[in-house]
Each structure stands twice: as structure tokens, then as C-alpha cells.
């Protein structure tokens, strides 16, 4: 895929994040620690979730 094709396919951050999420969890999100299927995005440096940021289970 060329850089132009990439930008055409993933024209927004939301499209890119959605494609990444679907690639990582094709059957939907499942927490590798506790098996929870609901999640909240956690920013980098947040006290819960991955130290790199991303999706992690979080009590609501």
C-alpha cells in the first residue's frame, strides 16, 4: 500500500483507530487480564490500562 493509499483509506484518526482495533480484536475486545468485554480508552500515563495507552478494562 502506498502512502497515498494509506491516507485515502485512513483519512481520520478515528478510521485508523477503528481498523487497528478490529485487527487486534476481530471478535471484539476481551481484556487479557480479567476477560472483561467492556472497555474504556485510557490515555498514556493513565493509572489503569497499558502504560502505552490504548484500550483497557476499567470499572465504571
Of residues 57 and 6, which shows the higher confidence score? 6
pLDDT in tens, 9-30: 899 999 998 898 899 889 888 8
Cα 30 from Cα 55, distance rounded (Å) = 10
Query: Tell me, what's the pLDDT at 56?
Result: 57
Task: Please state the domain extents for the chain.
Answer: 3-56
Between residues 6 and 47, which one has the greater pLDDT? Answer: 6
- Looking at residue 5, its pLDDT comes to 92
**Mean pLDDT of the residues in the chain:** 75
pTM for the whole structure: 0.51
- Pairwise CA distance, residues 56 & 30, whole Å: 9
Amino acid at each position: 500500500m502506498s502512502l497515498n493509499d494509506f491516507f485515502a483509506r485512513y483519512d481520520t484518526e478515528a478510521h485508523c483507530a477503528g481498523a487497528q482495533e478490529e485487527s487486534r480484536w476481530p471478535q471484539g475486545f476481551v481484556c487479557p487480564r480479567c476477560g472483561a468485554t467492556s472497555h474504556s480508552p485510557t490515555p498514556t500515563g493513565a493509572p489503569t490500562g497499558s502504560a502505552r495507552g490504548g484500550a483497557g478494562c476499567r470499572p465504571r
